[in-house]
Amino acid sequence: MAQLSPSRRVRRTPFSDGVEAAGVKAYTVYNRMLLPTVFASPVEDYHHLKQAVQVWDVSCERQVQVKGPDALRLIQLLTPRDLSKLAPNRCLYIPVTDQGGGMLNDPVLIQAGPDTFWISIADSDLLMWVNAIAGCNDFNVQVTEPDVSPLGVQGPRADDLMAQVFGDRVRDLKFFGCDRFAFDGFDFLIARSGYSKQGGFEIYVEGSERGMPLWNTLFEAGKPLDVRAGGPNLMERIEGGLLSYGNDMTSANSPLECGLGKYVSASQLGSCFGGRALREEIEAGSKRMIRAIEIDGGEVPGCDRAWPLRAGGAAVGQVTSAAWSPDFATNVAIGMVDAGHWGAGSELEVETPQGARQARVRDGFWN
Amino acid sequence: MAQLSPSRRVRRTPFSDGVEAAGVKAYTVYNRMLLPTVFASPVEDYHHLKQAVQVWDVSCERQVQVKGPDALRLIQLLTPRDLSKLAPNRCLYIPVTDQGGGMLNDPVLIQAGPDTFWISIADSDLLMWVNAIAGCNDFNVQVTEPDVSPLGVQGPRADDLMAQVFGDRVRDLKFFGCDRFAFDGFDFLIARSGYSKQGGFEIYVEGSERGMPLWNTLFEAGKPLDVRAGGPNLMERIEGGLLSYGNDMTSANSPLECGLGKYVSASQLGSCFGGRALREEIEAGSKRMIRAIEIDGGEVPGCDRAWPLRAGGAAVGQVTSAAWSPDFATNVAIGMVDAGHWGAGSELEVETPQGARQARVRDGFWN
């Protein structure tokens, strides 16, 4: 692995001092911000995440704040998902699509105040898209990136740690439920959510100055729970089927291809961006579909580019994330597979930079 | 320095195989793509750039392609610069501004065909901004990111190297002039431009498959010239006053504050995004201005965050790029300085993570 050159352009976070003190070894860059990826080692971090509790600096999940009387009307234009179930205590996962129905981002939408919404984004500058649409349509809204940095608390002991800092009421949050909880004189917005399948929370830290006091308190309170710094873990997220925007899907893919059909509401297809293209795809059937894929043989190399999938010599898709899974003792992968080949058990060949491997489509992920 | 985790999301380029074979030691991530920053060492790369010739993988300068009958009309909305001087053989540097006059990007605009324009972008997803504006206004254009990857040839021997590969006619290109030149059966668009002050070219490589054959030919032809792989060099670019979007300016800055007033045309302020705000700033005067700043003492640490500037204890701006210059034997820096303090010779104090240093505003950069 090469090193990452420091610059202001690759932004630090309110928690970077804590991340460095915890001995971060590697980062990725996400929304032009540092996202810590490795502390002890990928495998040690993986086992620890599944057994204890980790605090994750996911500040890079930036918020696109839409504020004003027309905010919800604007946001409803951005996504094929019907937003009528959004509520102050419930966040929603919303595919965001362009004119052709391609995925621009797959954020979580959260209501932060009466007329204030946060679109908690994956890795693309959705701020530009939303701001341009707001300006061109003369909506009565302000679109900004506020000083809000999510902090993840993930792992089977997450409830115990959070209850110590925010009180037992935090245990009552349901999945994708959210509410405000007091710490140090401020009410933090907290959701039961996060980018692992081990359970946990995301704390939306408003105001950078509140970052390190909260970080330090979580680590102090979590000592008996063996709390450690962590981050999204490639092996664990592939096992769990958590998609990564930019890896497993891009603007070349529709939400239907990404297996997100349940978030595409027929009622919105007449008005949202890309609605016509999505309706045509529903009628004609999708050309490819995202799938869990098992790859035979020993540990695969790092998947830093799409790996072609073949069946009988013909191109039938690509693998976009892959890693050796210690717990399942196989290579776990995510890929897009063409129609006719995406059924469970479909035998494929995957072309890795270290040669071809046998692979097959599974009926689901590893959880 | 920490390491950079590999993933498909941080995209490889058509030249990545060559970059790795040349022994790249560090990258930054720019437009969600790998940008090589260090080969031998920052200082050795710096001296070599000033003496010989380097080939730079600057694929991360992605192109926003705007194609169609309304293309130029759309692009003129994006920038306060009057585009009437754009021509097939001349590229233009264009500040791109939002509704409030803030900088969204500082790309180079180039005409690639009769109705086809490339906006060669700095580090922000301008594609989303342009695509949304195109869609909302019903312009007859297609907005895409084509398979075009710029390759830089920089340094005092750049003309000699380029003439060997593309013929002597390439020597006649004027600064920011561009034309097509044949290699291996294809006419490459080439501009005399680039992100150094040592002279050179950028080759807009259309089609990833043409990347490595051209890379290999440049290295083979350049052997007698001591050609090496390189990349934008922090020390050299600060000496030369080359601004970096995301470092030295963000959407919080107007083009006037960035010293780009000569690219703000009065004739466009009635129609372009942010025109009203820019007119008000012209009338009222700018509140801050970008400046060359000299920092006393030994080598400063890496500037991975904004460093506050003070005068008599009061906050008067920030340093956003800084490095030790071997040739000028001082710390060279770029920063935004408030009105009343930006005059040449103005004495300031800069707060680095390793303590305060004396600093002063210069009358210009180091070239």
Give the minimum alpha-carbon distance from A33 to chain B in angstroms, rounded to a whole number. 10
**Which tens digit of pLDDT belongs to each residue from B301-360?**
999 999 999 999 999 999 999 999 999 999 999 999 999 999 999 999 999 999 999 999
A-B contacts (CB, under 8 Å): 166
* Average pLDDT of chain A to the nearest whole number: 97
Chain segment A70-107, per-residue pLDDT in tens? 999 999 999 999 999 999 999 999 999 999 999 999 99
Q: Give domain B63-137's CATH number out of 3.30.70.1400, 3.40.50.970, 3.30.420.40, 3.90.1150.10.
A: 3.30.70.1400
Nearest chain B residue to A305 by CA distance is B8
Please give the Cα distance from A87 to A84 (Å, whole number).
8
Per residue in A21-78, pLDDT (tens digit) is 999 999 999 999 999 999 999 999 999 999 999 999 999 999 999 999 999 999 999 9
The full DSSP string for A144-164 is E--SEEEEEEESTTHHHHHHH
Which stretches does DSSP call E strand in B69-141?
A: 92-93, 96-97, 103-105, 108-113, 116-120
Radius of gyration (Cα) for chain A, nearest Å? 21
Q: Of the candidates A38, A126, A56, A22, which has an alpha carbon nearest to the alpha carbon of residue A323?
A: A38
Distance of CA A334 to the CA centre of its chain: 15
Torsion, Cα A119 A122 A123 A128, to 10 degrees, reads -20
Q: Where do we find the tokens 């004119």? A: A99
Beta carbons of A303 and B9 less than 8 Å apart: no
CB contact under 8 Å between B3 and A26, yes or no, is: yes
Cβ distance B1 to A4 less than 8 Å, yes or no, reads yes
Q: How many Å apart are CA B321 and CA B329, to the nearest integer?
A: 17
Residue A138 banded pLDDT, cuts 50, 70, 90: confident
The reported pTM is 0.97
Whether A78 has its CB under 8 Å from any CB of chain B: the answer is: no
B7 CB within 8 Å of a chain A CB: yes
Using a CB-CB cut-off of 8 Å, the residues of chain A touching B57 are none
CA distance B126 to chain A (A): 7
ipTM of the complex model = 0.96
Report CB contact under 8 Å: B25, A3: yes
> In a mutagenesis test of the A interface, which of B60, B128, B253 is the best target, namely the one with the most A β-carbons within 10 Å?
B128
Interface of A with B in 264-293 (CB under 8 A): 273
For residues A350 and A359, is the Cβ–Cβ distance under 8 A?
A: yes
Fold of A63-144: Alpha-Beta Plaits (3.30.70)
Query: DSSP secondary-structure letter at B158?
Result: H
Judged by a CB distance cut-off of 8 A, whether residue B31 touches chain A is no
Is the Cα torsion angle A203, A206, A209, A210 positive or negative in sign? Answer: negative
Could you give the residue ranges of the DSSP H alpha helices within B92-248? Answer: 126-137, 158-166, 211-221, 234-239
User: Chain A window 223-252: which residues touch B at a Cβ cutoff of 8 Å?
Assistant: 234, 244-247
What DSSP designation does A328 have? Answer: T
The candidate with the shortest Cα–Cα distance to B96, out of B80, B114, B118, B117, is B80
Q: pLDDT digit string (tens) for B185-212? A: 999 999 999 999 999 999 999 999 999 9
Report which residue type is found at B360: R
Contact B28 A12 (CB under 8 A): no
Contact B137, B49 (CB under 8 A): no
Q: Does B17 touch chain A (CB under 8 A)?
A: no
Q: Which residue has the tokens 């105040």?
A: A113
CB contact, 8 Å: B320 with chain A?
A: yes
Instruction: For chain B, say whether A12 makes contact (Cβ under 8 Å).
Output: yes
Strand B63-67 with B116-120, pairing: antiparallel
Running DSSP on this structure, what letter comes out for residue A174? P
**Contact (CB<8Å) A129/B133:** no
Residue of chain B minimizing CA distance to A19: B2
CA distance linking residue B285 with residue A176, whole number of Å: 48
Distance CA B261, CA B238 (A): 20
Domain extent listing, chain B: 16-60+147-238, 63-137, 288-367
Q: Are the Cβ atoms of B135 and A99 closer than 8 angstroms? A: yes
Rounded to a whole number of angstroms, the distance between the first and last alpha carbons of chain A is: 30
Structure tokens at A36: 């810590």
Q: Is A128 on the interface with B (CB under 8 A)?
A: yes
CB contact under 8 A, B26 and A12: no
Burial class (CB in 10 A: 0-12, 13-18, 19+), A342: buried
- Does domain A16-61+147-238 fall under CATH 3.40.50.2300? My reply is no
Q: What pLDDT, on a 0 to 100 scale, did the predictor assign at position B138? A: 85
Separation of alpha carbons A64 and A105, rounded Å: 12
pLDDT at A1 over 90: no
The CATH homologous superfamily for domain B16-60+147-238 is Probable tRNA modification gtpase trme; domain 1 (3.30.1360.120)
pLDDT value of position B1:
74
Report the percentage of chain B scoring pLDDT > 90.
98
CATH code for the structural domain at A288-367: 2.40.30.110
Q: Which of A28, A30, A128, A145 to mutate to test the interface with B (most CBs of B within 10 A)?
A: A128
B133 in contact with A at a CB cutoff of 8 Å?
Answer: yes
Residues of B in contact with A26 (CB under 8 A): 2-5
Which residues are bridge partners to A177 per DSSP? A90
Q: Do B273 and A123 touch (CB under 8 A)?
A: no
Which of the four pLDDT bands, split at 50, 70 and 90, describes residue A367? confident
Q: Give Cα B152 to chain centroid, integer Å.
A: 12
Judged by CB atoms closer than 8 Å, whether chains meet at B136 and A137 is answered as yes
Q: Is the pLDDT of residue A206 over 80?
A: yes
Q: Which residues contact A277 (CB under 8 A, 6 or more apart)?
A: A99, A100, A101, A254
CA atoms within 13 A on the CB side of B166: 27
CB contact under 8 A, A128 and B123: no
pLDDT digits (tens, 9 = 90+) for A140-159: 999 999 999 999 999 999 99
| Closest of B15, B1, B32 to residue B229, by C-alpha | B15
